[in-house]
Structures are given as structure tokens and as C-alpha cells.
A and B are shown apart, each in its own frame.
Chain A
């Protein structure tokens, strides 16, 4: 036992207190840093010295570690809750936008436009020859078509926005994955397998993993050497110091493009189910489905309405008309893929009436459309040939379009009784042109000549049977829509989005509660409490003062001792 030994004890106390004050100071300095993990200096008694057998004397204090206060299991749960919450919030945001493109419940949406349009036809039935009412039908038809188009454009815009965001966020995820790999390397080097922890680097890595969790669902596996491996599903995204990278993969199936997230290294699809990326990928699929449904609605509106309209007659007949939907191959059966018509006609027939303008007398001819799958099935060319044999008509095919003309200026022609849907499929005597939501429009033929709007079915000028039938089309159950009516189909689309949005909202709220609860638990363990640090600071300050006093005392003792020698 010596005074020098006592001096050393004092020195160890000084050093320990100083280090602890630095740790406390670091905690205080990072009190506002959300990524920071509270550290605690851990002190231990220095190994004692045996004075005489059985007598041990303390040798001061050792700073053994500066430990991060972190609950690793909680961290994993927190990260996964962040993924879930980000996913729900993102889904809710995008679906709300999809929902708002429909403007439902406003009394000014697609559904109301359809009502006005069909009401216009109903009103035309009151006075079928009225030019004003015909104009109303045209205007309502035009605004309905434009609403379809703008809905389609907006949905497509949203889809491309989602795609863009997905692109950006994928790049972000890729960068984060590389950062984790880099940090893994730095941590291994810094810690050098010595058992200590490089707190600052680990804090950085945890922050990066948290950010990545917001983008996608990841699992982390801590390795003994300080490395954290990051998995997506069962596949590694970051393995040691190696990142497999994140990239976008686009696949086209049945004309629909599906976007998914993949590993950059081998282009294998990544099983991203959560986080912003997971949400964006599924939202993109949902928007695609909505676009498909809206297209389907427009497609059926066009075809079903045209089928009725094609069987009707306007106030005047045609002197010449050209089909609006071209066939690819005029020698292919009309319902075959070779003809490639947007609408499919069936086996049946229609009647062409050639009318002498002066007498009003009509000559009718049945035109069969054979589509039974036999080699003799009707083609556009054969149709033109059979139309040409009708006295007073000529029919030609050019660029896949059929043109029918009256051969004499004293006669015109009308159509009726089309059981095959051929006229509607080809686009003859139709009200709408186009095949879907993107290109639906009022046929220029009728908008230029409103008297060609077909309100009649029996050929009489003020008959209204076609108008009455069209007026009832909105509520008519349609086989092509699975027995639903046009109105019901629309409501179904909007209801589905409404339900999905509501579900996403609820989920966002629920997952946020979970995340906040976990976050508070995390803060409770790893967060800095200034009050606590203050107390620590005072405690450590006192310890420092005490150690300094010890040294002063030993020093005095040593001087006393020196004086004896003098």
C-alpha cells in the first residue's frame, strides 16, 4: 500500500468521472436527435490489490463500456410498424385521389351525366321530330363522352404519377440498401471484433434501416461481428457488405402493364407487401383495374346504345354512309380475330330499306349475316357484295371500311331489325363512335345532321320507339356486364374505390396508433431525458470533485511526508 497507489485511485476516479460527463454531455447534446440512442457509461471496480493474505484493497474505478440503450426486439417491431403505416398512408393518399376523379355524390359525376343523357332521349320521345330536343341529346351525349374521356385521362395521369413515385422511391430504397452495406463494412472495421460497439455508426445504420422500412417491409438479422443482414421475404437485400439493389420491373400481360419491385442484381421479383413501395405497386394495379372497369363501362355503353340506334331511323335517310370501325382483313369472318373489330357481331341479319324520296315508298331487303363459324361466314367483302346486289345501293370496301351509297339521288336508305349487331360493330347508323373511355365520342355523322338521330323504329317520322328504348338503357340489365346495368356498373366502380379508400384510412389510423405506441416505448428506452442527464451530471461532477479532493489530500500527505525528510 502506498500513497502513489492512493493517487492512482484518485486518478482513475477523475478519469471515470470525466468520461461519464462526456457521455452525459453527448446525451444532452443529442437530446433533440430522433435517431440518437441514449448512452450510459458503465463503470466497474478496478481489480483489487492483496495487501496481505486475506486483505484486499480497492484499486479505483474502470470505465468498462459506453452502452447504447436499445431494445433490439422492439426496434424490429417498430420498423415493421413503420412499413405498415407507410403502406396504409400511401394507399389512402392515392386512392383518395382516384376517388376524387369520379367526383361521386356531387350530383355532377359520370352517373348524373348518364342520367341527363338518357333523360334527353326520354324527352326526345315526347317530340321525336323536334330539332331542339335532338340538339339536347347531342350535347348531353357530347358531355357524357367528354366526362368519360377526362375521367380516363385523369386516371391515366394518376397511374403515371404512381409510376413516377415508384421509380423515385425505388431509387431511394436502392441508395439506402447500399448505405446499409457500407455502414456494415465500417462497423466491422471500427469495432474490430473487440466486443465494443461503435455507437455512432450503429445509430446511423438504425436510422437508415428505419427509412428503408418506411419504403418496404424488411427483416433484419444481427450478426455477431456487428453486421446486420437485411432480408425481403426470404431473400437477402443486404448481405454483409453486399447490397443486391432495388429496381423496377415492368411486365406486360394481356395488354395490361404490371409494375413490380425487383432485385437489381438478378431482376427477381421482390416480395414487397408493405411500405411505400408495396403500397405503390398495389395501388398501380388497383388504378389499372379501375381504368379497365371504366373502359368496360364506356365500351358497353357505346355498343349497346349503338345496337339500339342502328335499328332505328332518323327523320331522313342516308344517301351515303361509311362505317367508323375498320376491319383489319376484309376477307376475314366479321367476328374472327382477323377482322379485329372492337365489337363482336353475332349470327343474324338486318334489313336495309331503300326509299324513294318522292313517294316515300320503301323497298326492304333482308341482309343475312352468317357467323356460325362455317367457312362461308360473312366477311366485310361478302357483306359489301350482298349490299351491292340491292337495287338502288352500291357498297364498297376501302381501307377496311364499308361505304354504302344510294345510286340515285332520288332515293335514300335506312336500316332496321339488326339482330346481328353488325351495323353497331362496324359503326353504321350509330350514335357513338369509339371503343372505350379514351375515345368515346358522338358520331360526327349525327352531330352534323341531327335529323339522322334515330328516334323511330317503324320508319314513321314521329315514331319514338327507339328513343324510348334508349332512354331505358341505363337501367337495363346487360349480359356483357354480368347482368348489371350501366348505372349499376358505375356505382360498383365507385363503391369499390370508396370501400378501398375507407379501408385504407382505417388501416392508416390503426397502424399509426401501433407505430406511435411502439415509438413511445422505444423513446422510453432509448430517448434522452434532460432531467435525468442533469442528475447524472451533478452526480458525476460530485464524483469528479471527490476524486480531485482525494488527489489533493494525498498530495498534502505526500508533502507532509517530504517535510519529515528535510
Chain B
């Protein structure tokens, strides 16, 4: 900084030398700064060099660092998805081979011996399929979902069991964008599980211990607690519910507000919150500040119902969680825990004993720990329980064990409410015009049963049989649904010497399709379960093809062939999806590279030295310094004494 041009009356020696020193100092400081800029190549070396630019530089550096993280994720996703893609390619040709085998062996000119050898080929395809399904990449099983640390497909006695997870992990590849790093095994290998989807709404009753986080809310978007405004007709009060963790806390908060004689509680049946008054308050509840607390809790009432009237809220609906008490399920009706239920899968069978179970998790553990290749889980909407057969090649049935547990849970695989159209793997039952079957009781009395006229469910069939018996005047036969196990039962009480029999009529398959063509045991026909849950996937289809080829069953070969074609289409679709993800990853990578370039150039504009200017400035300063030094040398030498004799 130079001395500003002041007009001085006289100039002293110290002034001359002092100002010289200041100028040289100043010049050298500027040179030093330029030298730093030139040697580091940066104008902004520390934030104070240019605080405005420094703020942007820091932000840009942060962005670049974040992008380097995304870039790592993109590379990981790219390599993993590429591997998935090539694996699916292998799989496509494998399935194609199976489909060709099926179509080559369906013709009438193929000998049984040829089919038997084709069965060998299919067996080897099955083995290859297993190795593809358990393919590892980078130490992780590609199709294991978020359980990719163990082989997802395991061969058991009943078939191929899926032990992985269908939840695919995602990772962040950009701000607010994520990509799956693999595909769900379901999308590749078909239904890994035939599931019995709970048909009952298990929605639990509310308790004061019900967590706010477990509420679905009347808006369906959960409950986000804020403040509500409660009024009693004359005054209003703000109540902050944001500290509440469960419904009890929220109720306490409202009660602590102490407005009039208003108090909050759960409704008696636990299907909502209610505000009651022991006085003449006209209760209103409003949301404040754009929140929707009252609305989602179901207690929003902008106009009161009148003095002294209670405010009965709508049900904010609690989700079923692992921690939900079994007794709270079905709105508080609970389930039958005394009897339990029976699950049969393939050759394995287990009775689920719930006598000590108290929570949903206990129930799930009982099923999952039964060791029969069956998994139970809470469904996605949180209002029911699904039981899945995760073993391809096996069929699963869920039956009562003398009580109503399975029906309470809505997981009975075959019951009075089962629609007829679902039976036999969706084929329904075959009926003909006229009588479908004849029932003969032990005393020889008979009656005809004609189905196909409006019967929708199994119960309808049972009713039709009983009605037909009544019409025919046969009193010794009663149709019902089994209390233990699944199936229609025909009980014979005629007390005759024969046995009760069911005989198909008019080539109808209805009796067989209803599982009634089994021999009577004692005086009862216990119908078979004709709604077993099978897994319709690649493994089971290959097994079916292999069995059909071995059995020389052309119909079954055709069926297996078309099922495999469906598998093929699904694999192709999935591969398409993987391709799309891969493309997205590659696009992002390219875009990231472009963005990085732009960011780097912006960073450079802000931070890098403009060498032309800097070098020019440097030279100017150098000249100035030289001039100052020369002037200083000359001026300081000048003295009157030099001129006096």
C-alpha cells in the first residue's frame, strides 16, 4: 500500500527513507502473492484470498467428491448388472433348449425310449439351472436378494427350496437416484413360492401402546405428528403432539391440555380415538399450520356435534407388525390359538402349535421354524399374513387342526369359502349338463348331484349336495367341510351294511375335481384337498417336463412346454429390465463425466491462475521494484554535503 499523495511542506531524511522502505515492502508483498499464484497455479489458495469464490469452490469440491462416490457405485452396479445380464443370457439359451426338447418330443412319432433319453437331457438342464441360479459374483450370490451371503437355491427332498430374499438391494448413483444392483429371483425363476395370501383383514385393535409409527393413518400415508387445535365451543387450545411415541402419549398430551371437561381415550372397541366430555363442551378438533395430524389420526372435526356430545374418531388403522399381540388381531377379536393349524408341503407336514404364542412374530417363527420349506411373513400392506411355499416341485396345503386358527388368519388353503374356479391349480371343476355324480349311502339309497348351476364356492357345493339329498329323501348322508384337514366330507349315518360311494355320471369330472372319488374310511368319505398350492417356476416346470417325458405323457409334455415358454418370456422381460438398468447406469456414467468436466472447468475458472495476466503483472511489478530500488539508491545518496567544498 503506497502513501497517498499528500502535499508536504518539507521533506525530511527519515521521510524519504521511510517511504522508500514502505514502497519496496509493498512491491515485494505483491510480488510474493503473484509468485504464489504462479507457482501453485491457483488464485485462491486460502478462503481469505477470495471468500466469495472460496465458498463456491468448496461446494464444487464437495460435489466432485460426492460424484466420485457415485462413480464407484456406478462401476459396481455396472459390473454386477453386466454379470446378471450375461447370466440371464445363459439362462435364456438353457430355457430355449428345454422348450425345444419339449416340442421335439410332443409328436406321436417319438418313441418312449427317445422320451426317456430326452428326460436325461432335461435332468442335466435342471442341474445347470441350479448352478446358474446359485451363481456367485464378487463373493455374492447374484439372485439372493438381500440374503446374498448364502446359496439362495437348495435342493431338498421335496424339491428346490428358495432360501434367499426377493428384496433386491439398491444403491445411490446420483442425488436422489438409485438403481438395483441385481434382479429379484422371482422375476427370473418365476414364482419362488406359491403363497396363501391371507384373506382376512387382521388389522389389530388400537392400544395405548400402539406406536404412532405403526399407524397407516386415515390418509393412508402414515401419521406425522404436529400440533392440533382443540375447541370446546368457547375457547380453543393448541396441543403439541409431536413428542408422542404411541397413542397413549397422544392421549396424555390431549388430557394434559385440560380444555373444559374434555378428555381423550380410545374407543371401547379400539377402533379409533375419541374425545369425550363430562360437561357441556362442544368438541372440535382442527389441524394447524398446514399439518394434517388431526386428520390422519381420524379426529378432525371442524364443527362440533353439539354440547356434551363425544367426538368419535375414525380408525387410523394400525399395521400388523412382528410385535402385534395375537389377541389384538382382527380388531381385537384375536385368533384361535388353542388348536393351531397344519401345513403340509410335499411329503412334509407340520402342525403349528400356537398355544404359547403371544405375538405375530411368535406365529411367524412357529411357521418359519417348522422346517418344511414354508415361510410366513406379514404382507406388504400390513393387514394380513402370507404363508409361502418356497419349494419348487412341492405342493402345500394349510388346514385346520380342529379349530378355526387357519380360517381366522385367512390362510386356510382350501375351505368352504374357496371359489370353485381356483381349485385344481386354477382349472376349477368340470361339470356337464345333467347329473355330475351319484352318491350311494351304506343302505343303498342314492341321489344325483347336478352342479354347474350357479355354485361359486365350495360351500355352495356342500349346500347343493345336502339339498340334493333332501330332495331325493335321502337322510343318511350329510355333506360338510372337514374340521381337521382340508376337504369336503360326506358322512353316512344310514347305518347300512354297505359303504358310502360317489360315482361320476355322464363322464363328468366334477366328483374327481372336488376330491370326492376317494374310498370311504369307515362311514365317511373324506374328500381330498384339491387346492394345494404349488410353485409355478422354472425348476418345477423343468421337473414337470422331466416327469412327463419319463411318463411318456404327451399332454403333460405339452403343458410343461407351454409353461416353459412362459418362463422364457419372463426371463426375456427381466433381461430387458436389466438392460434398461444397465443403460441407465451407463448414461449416468457418461452424464457424470460430462458434469465433472463442467464442474472442473468452473472450478478452474474460479481457482486457477490466469497465467497471461499473472506473468504480465509479475513483470510490471518487477520493473516497478527495479525503478524503486534505483531511485532509492540515487535519492539517498543526494546530500548537500556532497556539494560543499
Contact = CB atoms under 8 A, between A and B. Distances in A.
Interface of A: 31-32, 34, 38, 95-96, 99-100, 104-105, 107, 111-112, 115-116, 118-119, 122-123, 125-130, 315, 346-349, 351, 359, 361-366, 368-370, 372, 374, 417, 419-420, 456, 458, 460-465, 468, 471-472, 474-475, 487, 491, 494-495, 497-502, 505, 509-510, 512-513, 516-517, 519-521, 523-532, 534-535, 538
Interface in B41-56: 44-51, 54-55
A516 B169 contact: no
Contacts of B369: 359, 361
B65 A112 contact: yes
A34 B12 contact: no
19 contacts: A38-B12, A104-B46, A107-B61, A119-B69, A361-B369, A363-B362, A417-B213, A468-B172, A471-B172, A472-B172, A495-B51, A498-B48, A502-B47, A502-B50, A513-B4, A520-B19, A521-B8, A524-B11, A527-B14
Nearest to B4: A517
Interface of B: 1-4, 6, 8-15, 18-19, 22, 44-51, 54-55, 57-59, 61-62, 65-66, 68-70, 72-73, 76-77, 80, 138-140, 144-150, 165, 167, 169-172, 175, 178, 181, 209, 211, 213, 243-246, 249, 252-253, 322-323, 359, 361-362, 365, 368-369, 607, 639-641, 644
Contacts of B209: 366, 368
Contact of B59 (A100, A368, A491, A498): A491
A382 to B, nearest CB: 15
Contact of B147 (A462, A472, A523): A462
A452 B167 CA distance: 22
B1 A105 contact: no
Given A494-B47, A512-B1, A524-B15, A464 B58 contact: no
Given A111-B65, A126-B171, A475-B175, 4 more contacts: A104-B54, A509-B1, A527-B10, A530-B639
Contact of A513 (B3, B11, B59, B644): B3
Contact of A458 (B45, B139, B167, B640): B167
A529 B11 contact: yes
B382 to A, nearest CB: 14
B2 A112 contact: no
A122 B48 contact: no
A519 to B, nearest CB: 7
A463 B167 contact: yes
A530 B641 contact: yes
B11 A105 contact: no
A430 to B, nearest CB: 21
Contact of A126 (B14, B76, B146): B76
Contacts of A420: 245
Given A123-B69, A517-B4, A523-B18, A495 B58 contact: yes
Contact of A527 (B13, B211, B249, B368): B13
A351 to B, nearest CB: 7
Contacts of A458: 146, 167
A126 B58 contact: no
Given A361-B365, A461-B147, A517 B54 contact: no
Contacts of A127: 76, 138-140
Contacts of B362: 363
Q: Which of B1, B8, B57, B644: most chain A Cβ within 10 A?
A: B1
A468 B171 contact: yes
B380 to A, nearest CB: 13
Given A126-B72, A517-B6, A468 B244 contact: no
A502 B45 CA distance: 12
A96 B48 contact: yes
A34 B13 CA distance: 10
Contact of A491 (B8, B55, B147): B55
Given A115-B69, A462-B149, A527 B12 contact: yes
A366 B322 CA distance: 10
B149 A529 contact: no
A458 B72 CA distance: 25
A285 to B, nearest CB: 19
Q: Which of B2, B44, B361: most chain A Cβ within 10 A?
A: B361
A363 B361 contact: yes
Contact of B169 (A125, A528, A530): A125
Contacts of A365: 323
B641 A105 contact: no
Q: Which of B72, B245, B361: most chain A Cβ within 10 A?
A: B245
B287 to A, nearest CB: 21
Nearest to B42: A105
B147 A516 contact: no
Contacts of A513: 1-4
Contacts of A505: 48
Contact of A128 (B45, B169, B249): B169
Contacts of B76: 123, 126-127
A43 B13 CA distance: 25
A129 B169 CA distance: 12
A308 to B, nearest CB: 15
A365 B481 CA distance: 39
Contact of A498 (B54, B149, B165, B211): B54
B207 to A, nearest CB: 11
Contact of A122 (B6, B11, B73, B607): B73
Nearest to B169: A464
Contact of B18 (A369, A520, A525): A520
A331 B15 CA distance: 76
B172 A125 contact: yes
B374 to A, nearest CB: 14
Contact of A520 (B6, B169, B178, B640): B6
A501 B45 CA distance: 13
A95 B46 CA distance: 12
A347 B248 CA distance: 12
A461 B69 contact: no
User: Which 8 A-B residue pairings sit nearest by Cβ, starting from the closest?
Assistant: A498-B47, A527-B12, A119-B69, A115-B65, A501-B48, A523-B15, A126-B76, A463-B146
Contacts of B243: 346-347, 372
Contacts of B175: 475
Nearest to A527: B12
B77 A126 contact: yes
Contact of A96 (B46, B146, B252): B46
A502 B14 contact: no
Given A363-B365, A495-B58, A531 B46 contact: no
B169 A32 contact: no
B48 A368 contact: no
Nearest to B75: A126
Contacts of B72: 119, 122-123, 126
Contacts of B167: 458, 460, 463
Contacts of A348: 245
A369 B244 CA distance: 11
A521 B178 CA distance: 70
A516 to B, nearest CB: 5
B77 A364 contact: no
A471 B70 CA distance: 10
Contacts of A474: 66
A125 B209 CA distance: 34
B55 A495 contact: yes
B323 A524 contact: no
Contacts of B10: 524-525, 527, 529, 532
Contact of A118 (B69, B181, B245, B607): B69
A119 B65 contact: yes
Q: Which of B13, B144, B169: most chain A Cβ within 10 A?
A: B169
A112 B410 CA distance: 55
Given A32-B14, A520-B3, A530-B639, A456 B69 contact: no
A100 to B, nearest CB: 7
A537 to B, nearest CB: 10
B48 A126 contact: no
